[in-house]
A and B are shown apart, each in its own frame.
Chain A
């Protein structure tokens, strides 16, 4: 059977082509984002007044987690010589959450933590007293000859420890916690709940001048 074709018009209806083009235009307008600015955020300490020497902060040795990096990119972590940063993040986590000698407020903070984080608290008298600026400080000291890359690697691991704690407190992964933008009230609430009582106490010391 031969097919019967009826030739109606030879022209394709091009009226909707404009709509298709518009769709394309809008699609590109919406999806085109300029490469976003990402990085590790660091808040510098306020500037020093030459007339007023910085206040002497009395911190017990047990409350400071010392990380020293020399000009050969070798690490001295809590007095122990290392060449790699392996496992550093977990050590910092248990240092922050040690709760060796908490006061009442911090005891309440401890009781409010999820069980998985409470398990990290060894309550060792040799480690930090409580999380926070006066109780658990991570100190990073570099040399002028230290490479920027290893410094960032260490800073990255310290941040990782904090973000994992924050995330775990609110039931998110560290990744999800970092992705919170703070644009909505719910996200701000999550962010605040994560870091409440455990501020990031990272001290970056002036680098040594020797050996650069």
Chain B
């Protein structure tokens, strides 16, 4: 009988020296996989400066429109173009785009949609006012001119 009961008392301490490595691996895993959704910009973006900036609280309500001279001038020409998501669109496509963006929001938040207009500083007011007109038509009346802070002297 004694043959079977023979158990060697193992060390109760679990070796923890490898634990930091595991945690570091986790850390690196998250650092590497967390990709901020960056859009491929097809238009030039030199964001203008301003001083009276306001910050928006709810990120989910913001949709971005990019406006500027196309980077690929051979393909798209030199006139300022509008980029929504990953494609260049025309002014009259804005209405449809806004409705798509609104559909992605919940019913209660639909009228709070904010359009962040990231326009290049070399753009003229013509295309900007065209966009504003279309946004009024689409009933997306909260518009934010994306700017960066100006260093005040």
Of the candidates A37, A38, A45, A179, which one forms a contact with B149 in the assembled complex, judged by CB atoms under 8 Å apart? A38
Q: Is B108 an interface residue (CB 8 A)?
A: no
* A95 shortest CB reach to chain B, Å: 17
* B126 shortest CB reach to chain A, Å: 4
Q: Is B20 an interface residue (CB 8 A)?
A: yes
Scoring B51, B137, B144, B147 by chain A CB atoms within 10 A of each residue's CB, the highest score goes to: B51
Known: A38-B147, A46-B136, A156-B52. A148 touches B20 (CB 8 A): no
Could you tell me if A37 and B55 are in contact, using CB atoms closer than 8 angstroms? yes
Q: Which residues of B from 98 to 134 have beta carbons under 8 Å from A?
A: 116, 119-126, 128-129, 132-133
- C-alpha spacing A40/B17, complex, angstroms: 53
Q: Is A44 an interface residue (CB 8 A)?
A: yes
A44 contact set on B, CB distance < 8 A:
132, 135-136, 141-143
Could you tell me if B16 and A41 are in contact, using CB atoms closer than 8 angstroms? no
B39 contact set on A, CB distance < 8 A:
none
* B89 shortest CB reach to chain A, Å: 19
- Number of residues from B at the complex interface, CB < 8 A: 49
How many contacts between A and B, using CB within 8 angstroms? 149
A18 contact set on B, CB distance < 8 A:
16, 19-20, 22-23
Additional pairs, 17, CB under 8 Å, beyond known A38-B149, A152-B145: A18-B20, A20-B20, A36-B55, A37-B55, A37-B62, A38-B56, A39-B50, A39-B145, A41-B142, A43-B142, A44-B141, A44-B142, A151-B125, A152-B147, A178-B52, A181-B57, A207-B126
Q: What are 12 A-B pairs at a CB distance below 8 A?
A: A18-B22, A37-B55, A37-B146, A40-B145, A42-B145, A142-B129, A147-B125, A148-B48, A156-B51, A159-B52, A174-B52, A207-B125
Q: Which residues of A contact B (CB under 8 A)?
A: 11, 14-15, 17-18, 20-22, 24-25, 28, 34, 36-48, 142-149, 151-153, 155-156, 159-160, 163, 174, 178-179, 181-183, 204, 206-207, 212
